[in-house]
Structure 1
């Protein structure tokens, strides 16, 4: 699965961003903390486990850092219990100790989780069993690290640390939740439909049609959400202060601080929720964009169809920055005779093989399209030298010569036109077409490149 993830960098990026937003959402809402007597459960560390299992050590460590920062921020309020003030460098009286307790232990926990999952992926033959063991131990390890740090750094204030290791109802629930969730995610991620979805999301379709305005709209939406969340938090903090004053409650500076503190928590949670929605929409958009792109591929050869290829060409030739590109026409020689002699099935096979050879030789330089029938075209936005291009044409002609049989040589006529952008596409198209017919007039099975 690690190799699959390495081939899907876009999927990893989106997943990591989603986990960051989920971590904040869980840290600042009831989703990460549940207190229903006699059960009191903390599982805001679940995104850390997911990142360690599916992404990597660095991502799990970073999420551990965010978890710790969120815990530290929540402890920096005057309404928290005295025991919770140990987590705040501003209220505990020991800033360095509190920083390590709140942030250091959670960051170290993320590092250990990421390392444990890495070792399972790399060396353990039974992956699901290994994931289950780590998920089972993670809640206890997290609690043990925090309570041990509390006992060492704040020995006078710490009490009840030994309860961390007791198998109470809270620990059982948290452990079961971690184990079940990670196992379900593992099974889901290995489903073919999920892998196919990830493959579609990972494809960079924006370079085929230009960056879609949806990206700009997405950026505007995020900026608007941030501004709206900040404005609403400040407004409601002010209105709550006014309301309490109107009811005769005297507001001290500490109360005002706590009101604003709570509103900032609400702001972060609201922004995280909106961010999750925005990223989810972006993922769906990427998936649908690639589905649309696949529908516009040539059904026989699997290269770009005429419309999408010509749209891409117009985008390349209209670039405002000056660069040398090359447009190429390829026409299969005597293709009608191939169909008449060997049948249309053999003709289709020849077209498929030619398309594959073109992709093999030119995909690193540009895009290949089928314009119709036996006509192909290539746009090279990273054009090699004319000498190198001639060598590639020679290699290509040699590769396709024996596609049918030793007695019937397959060849192509090729016309190539080098040009500097920007330039009118119709002019380029007409000149390259002229080069192609010049190659045919020379006897076919050759190429013509403009001087």
Structure 2
């Protein structure tokens, strides 16, 4: 599980977005419907979604946020008496209030996470998910009413009432099931899976930059500071305004005004957090699309522009270290094209690129820089013996690409110290490559400029 959360950013982002939605629903009217004498809530729906998509740990955390939001809202002096027991500051049994507001919601999230985990292993997982989502509102009500009956018996709540299905209950059950199952289906749709792969693979592309994190971090800090200052300002101005209108603003009223302002602040910060996460996800996706657009269409490896861009990044990140630059040119490729056709020629190029990638992907970058010309930037300082072994094996591997004719290539290998201008590396390596061609092709020539 840790590996998934460390490497799969998309899942992390979606989970964070759902937590932010939970905060918004817990702190605004979106998650509550007031039906005297108590409040009926739909703020648990993000918890059900998280339990469906992820697991017990994640849904328990969502339940914790829901519970804390419920506790905070119940702390205002103007809430109904039946709701005041959810706050340890308003009831005569503080521990009981914490268990009621927070404990039941954490337990709710945990149980749902476990149920959905079992459903995913079932042969009829879709049916099981449907039954769980339909039962979720009643499970939430059962846990809350049971806790209220045990911890605050004087309120006179009877859990038997939750088993009676009213028209409003059917609407809530249907709405919960429709939302959760629709999001679950969308999350596992081919479109979202493609988007997810792009977001998760973004950091493996040469266009990845940590600067976006610093920029969004700075924006987030600015928004937070301005929101806090605005909350303090409007709270004081509201206090002053009521006084100007002749309202005797007591300390209780002033506290409730500040309480509401903080509630509004929390919801707005959650909304801004959602916006920042969406911006980051779109940025990662667009950068990955930019990267894939620069891949060579035929062979699937980097095209010339992307390869040279990657080489520039390597120059900056490996300053002072030694590396190799290789240029590989297929021998008599025009003859293969003319004799066997372009489809055979294309297959030779694809298999050649695949062998080149398999040989050097662990220690560098591979790109197609011309029609039948490929290049490799090795940012690991291999010894001449190590490189000679790899090149010998590579020439042996590509020789069997075609049954009709032996495929070979000429290779120039140039050792240098980072950083070096790419133009200089291409010029020097081409010169070494021509030596290999003059030696009869189907061979490699290595030159170490660091020994000069």
In the TM superposition, residue 108 of structure 1 has moved relative to its aligned partner by: 1.5
**Cα distance 1:7–1:348, how it changes in 2: closer, same or farther (>3 A)?**
farther
Seen in structure 2, the aligned counterparts of structure 1 residues 255 and 39 have a Cα distance that, compared at 3 Å, is: closer
Change (3 A) 1:30 1:384: farther
1:377-403 Cα deviation digits (max 9, x unpaired): 122334555544433323322221111
2:153 aligned counterpart, secondary structure? coil
Any conservation in 2 of the 1:401–1:409 contact (CA below 8 Å)?
yes
**Larger displacement relative to structure 2 (389-398 or 350-359):** 389-398
Query: Alpha-carbon deviation of 1:109?
Result: 1.3
Give the secondary structure class of the aligned counterpart of 2:376: strand
Q: 1:444 aligns with which of 423, 441, 445?
A: 441
Quick check: 1:41–1:170 contact (8 Å CA) kept in 2? no
Using the alignment, how far apart are the partners of 2:380 and 2:58 within structure 1? Answer: 35
Unaligned runs of at least 5 residues, structure 1? none
Q: Structure 1 20/186 Cα, relative in aligned 2: closer, same or farther at 3 Å? A: closer
Give CA deviations for 1:221-278 in whole Å, capped at 9, x if unaligned.
2222212221111111111111111122222222211111110110111111122222
Q: After TM superposition, give the deviation of residue 155 of structure 1 in Å.
A: 2.1
The TM-score normalised by the length of structure 2 is 0.91
Name whichever of 299-308 and 422-431 sits farther off.
Answer: 422-431
Out of 348, 352, 357, which is 1:359 matched to? Answer: 357
CA spacing shift, 1:197–1:162, aligned 2, 3 Å: same
Structure 1 stretch displaced more, 224-233 or 315-324: 315-324
Q: The residue matched to 2:328 in structure 1 has which SS?
A: strand
How many angstroms does 1:27 deviate by? 0.8
Stretches of 4+ moved more than 6 A in 1?
Answer: 5-8, 36-39
| Contact 2:363 2:380 survives alignment (8 Å) | yes
| Residues 1:418 and 1:141: Cα distance change in structure 2 (over 3 Å) | farther
In the alignment, which of 423, 426, 436 is matched to residue 426 of structure 1? Answer: 423
Matched with 1:171 is 169
Q: Any idea what the Cα deviations from partners look like across 1:336-356, whole Å, max 9, x if unmatched?
A: 221122122211110011111
CA distance in 1, matches of 2:377, 2:91: 66
2:216 corresponding residue in structure 1? 218
Structure 2 equivalent of residue 183 of structure 1: 181
Gaps of 5+ in 2: none
Secondary structure, aligned partner of 1:203: helix
CA distance in 2, matches of 1:37, 1:101: 19
Aligned to 2:71: 72
* Conserved 8 A contact 1:29-1:269: yes
Asked if structure 1 preserves the Cα contact closer than 8 Å seen for 2:295 and 2:302, the reply is yes
Q: Structure 2 residue aligned with 1:153, among 129, 151, 158?
A: 151
Q: 1:59/1:390 Cα in 2 relative to 1: closer, same or farther (>3 Å)?
A: farther
Aligned partner (choices 371, 376, 391) of residue 389 of structure 2: 391
Correspondence 1:23-422 to 2 at 5 A: 23-35=22-34, 41-122=40-121, 124-204=122-202, 207-211=205-209, 214-319=212-317, 322-382=320-380, 386-405=384-403, 407-422=404-419
Is the 2:208–2:287 Cα contact (8 Å) retained in structure 1? no
Greater shift in the superposed pair: 43-52 or 360-369: 360-369
Q: What RMSD, in angstroms, separates the aligned Cα atoms of the two structures? A: 2.6
Pair 326,169 (structure 1): closer, same or farther in 2 beyond 3 Å: farther
Secondary structure at 2:445's aligned position in 1?
strand
Distance 1:23 1:322 in 2: 50
State how far apart, in whole Å, the 1-side matches of 2:134 and 2:16 are.
Answer: 25
Q: Which deviations, in whole Å up to 9, do the C-alpha atoms of 1:161-208 show, x marking residues without a partner?
A: 432332123322221111111222233234333322222232215741
- C-alpha distance in 2 between matches for 1:30 and 1:323: 60
Contact kept, 8 Å, 1:69 with 1:102, in 2: the verdict is: yes
CA distance in 1, matches of 2:189, 2:81: 48
**CA-CA distance at 1:420 after TM superposition:** 3.8
Q: Aligned-pair distance for 1:99?
A: 1.9
Q: CA 1:420–1:145 in 2, change beyond 3 Å: closer, same or farther?
A: farther
Number of residue-to-residue matches in the alignment: 446
After the TM superposition, which of the residue ranges 191-200 and 377-386 deviates more from structure 2?
377-386
Structure-1-length-normalised TM-score: 0.91
